Structure 1
Amino acid sequence: MTSFLSKRAIASAISLIVLIVLVFFLSRLTGDPASLYLPVDASAESRERFREINGLNDPLILQFFRYVGDLVQFDFGMSIRRSEPALDAVLRAFVWTLQLAVITMSLVTIAAIAVGSLAAFRVGGLFDRLATFLSLIGASAPDFWIAIVAIVVFSVNLGWVPTSGTGTVWHWILPIMVLFIRPFGLIVQIVRGAMIAALSSAYVKTARAKGVRNRPIIFVHALRNAMLPVITVIGDQAAALLNGAVVVESVFGFPGVGKLMIDSILQRDFTVVLAAIFVTAVAIFVMNIVIDILYAVLDPRIRY
């Protein structure tokens, strides 16, 4: 098990290094920050001075090696736009995204496992058909459309919740609701398919022959053996949220890392872009290690 996790950690570290290299050079293709932050009629001397202050006048390869040297010391540089350490700005935004992702995925996981398991128990029944229909709609609906409709209906017309912001608990309802729908639909489908296979297995038939009640059969005997593909999909959906629910954060004015990353790209704030990519990638790699550990807990064969 330790050897397996070590190999995964090394693979993740290599992926992180490649990602940093790609993002560093590709972000420079967005243009010269001096053209964005200085007036149109700024002199050549002013532009050169701006580049010198922000370390942008050196050759690109020299900038890269200087950045790597600072990165080893966890120094991501200063944000051009915000005049503060880039890592501070990213961590502040990442906390908001992490809270949003944890709350949403906790609700999604509980609801999807319950609905998918019950739907699989009576295949073709009314509950199964209703759950399948609604989950397919949820998995197919685009986030930006759901977000706009939710604002029009619940904020503008009904006035139940605010349109945007993070001031109170009520501000969290619409973002969580919109982010809930798509992963819920996907996970319900996966749970249902995995549970149908598990409920038709020999050990479930033996449990039924011994007189075991339906609830232990569904949520003890069958569910544990059906969870491996479910955990994979849950991990993918959680990674998508950690990577920044860009559309939802932008529509609802949520100060998460996804919105910060998009704003920083448009503002050519390279240090913030790189810091956001690094923090998000590390979080996703850690989550993948946790998923591997859960695999081993659910299926002891994986340990070997």
Structure 2
Amino acid sequence: MLNFLGKRAIASGISLVGLVLLVFFLSRLTGDPTGLYLPLDASEESRMQFREIHGLNDPLIVQFFSYMGDLIRFDFGDSIRRSEPAIDVVLRAFAWTLQLGTLTMMLVVSCAIVVGSLAAFHVGGIFDRIATFFSLIGASAPDFWVAIVAIVIFSVTLGWVPTSGTGSVAHWILPIAVLFIRPFGLIVQIVRGSMITALSSAYVKTARAKGIKNRAIIFVHALRNAMLPVITVVGDQAAALLNGAVVVETIFGFPGVGKLMIDSILQRDFTVVMAAIMVTATAIFVMNLLIDILYSILDPRIRY
């Protein structure tokens, strides 16, 4: 296991370096941020001084290796916009995204397992058809479209919930609901397919012959063996949820890392953009590693 973890850490490190290289040069294509932070009538001397302070006078390749050197020392630089360490700005925003993503995935996984398992147990029945119909619609619905429609209906027309912000529980309802729909639909389908296979196995038939209750058969005997493909999809959807939060947070004005990233790109705050991507990518790599470890716990036959 330790050998496997070491290999995954090395592979993740190489991927992070490649990601930093790509994002660093792409972010510079947005242009010189000097015009955004200095008055239009600022002198050329002031502009040169601004660039010198923020290391923008050097050639791009020199800036990149300088940034990598700072990164090795865990120095992400200071935000041009906020004049404070970029990593502090990102971690504050990431805490909001982490809360939003954790709450959403807890609801998604618990609801999808119940709905998918019951649909598999009553395969071909009314409940199965309804669950399949709505889960397929949910899996196909784009987040940005659902978010806009939800605001128009529930905020503007009905006035039930606020359109943006985080001041109360009501502010969280629409962002969680929008992020809930797509992963719920996908995971329900995976749970249903895995459970159909598990419920048709010999050990389940033996459990039924012994008179074990249906609830125990579904959620004790069959579910454990059906969870491996489900865990894979849950991990993928958790990572996709972090990426999807960029759009949803921007639409709902939620102060998470997604909105911060969009704002920083528009403001050409390069250090914050890089720090946000590094933190998000690291979180995704760690999450994938935990899923691999969970695989070996659920299925002792797996040996890395």
- TM-score higher than 0.5 here? yes
Contact 1:97 1:244 in 2 (8 A): no
In structure 2, the residue matched to 1:136 is: 136
Amino acid at match of 1:84: E
In structure 2, the residue matched to 1:279 is: 279
CA distance in 2, matches of 1:12, 1:92: 24
In structure 2, the residue matched to 1:262 is: 262
1:230 Cα deviation after fit: 0.6
Unaligned runs of 5+ in 2: none
1:41 Cα deviation after fit: 4.5
1:3 Cα deviation after fit: 1.6
Contact 1:244 1:257 in 2 (8 A): no
Which stretch of structure 1 is more off in the superposition, 50-59 or 205-214?
A: 205-214
Amino acid at match of 1:161: V
- Residues 242-261 of structure 1 mapped to structure 2, 5 A cutoff: 242-243=242-243, 245-261=245-261
Q: Specify the SS of the correspondent of 1:52.
A: helix
In structure 2, the residue matched to 1:239 is: 239
1:212 Cα deviation after fit: 1.9
Q: Does 1:191 align with 2:201?
A: no
In structure 1, the residue matched to 2:5 is: 5
Which stretch of structure 1 is more off in the superposition, 15-24 or 226-235?
A: 15-24
CA distance in 1, matches of 2:212, 2:2: 37
Q: Deviations over 1:150-194 (max 9, x none)?
A: 122222222221111001111111111111111100100111111
- Residues 8-157 of structure 1 mapped to structure 2, 5 A cutoff: 8-157=8-157
CA distance in 1, matches of 2:75, 2:243: 22
CA distance in 1, matches of 2:90, 2:249: 15
Task: Report the CA distance shift for 1:290/1:220 in structure 2 as closer, same or farther (over 3 A).
Answer: same
Amino acid at match of 2:9: A
Q: Give TM-score, length-normalised by structure 2.
A: 0.96
CA distance in 2, matches of 1:242, 1:287: 11
CA distance in 1, matches of 2:232, 2:182: 16
1:50 Cα deviation after fit: 1.5
CA distance in 2, matches of 1:155, 1:26: 37
Q: Give TM-score, length-normalised by structure 1.
A: 0.96
Percentage of pairs with the same residue: 81
Amino acid at match of 1:234: V
1:211 Cα deviation after fit: 2.1
Amino acid at match of 1:2: L
Which stretch of structure 1 is more off in the superposition, 160-169 or 209-218?
A: 209-218
1:39 Cα deviation after fit: 3.8
CA distance in 2, matches of 1:146, 1:78: 36
Q: Specify the SS of the correspondent of 1:30.
A: coil
- Residues 287-302 of structure 1 mapped to structure 2, 5 A cutoff: 287-302=287-302
Contact 2:143 2:244 in 1 (8 A): no
CA distance in 1, matches of 2:11, 2:120: 37
CA distance in 2, matches of 1:190, 1:244: 20
Contact 2:112 2:191 in 1 (8 A): yes
Report the number of matched residues: 304
CA RMSD of aligned residues (A): 1.3
In structure 1, the residue matched to 2:223 is: 223
Q: Deviations over 1:240-277 (max 9, x none)?
A: 22335011101110011011111111111110011001
Contact 1:104 1:176 in 2 (8 A): yes
Q: Deviations over 1:1-57 (max 9, x none)?
A: 222222112211111111112111221111111233334454432322221111100
Amino acid at match of 2:45: E
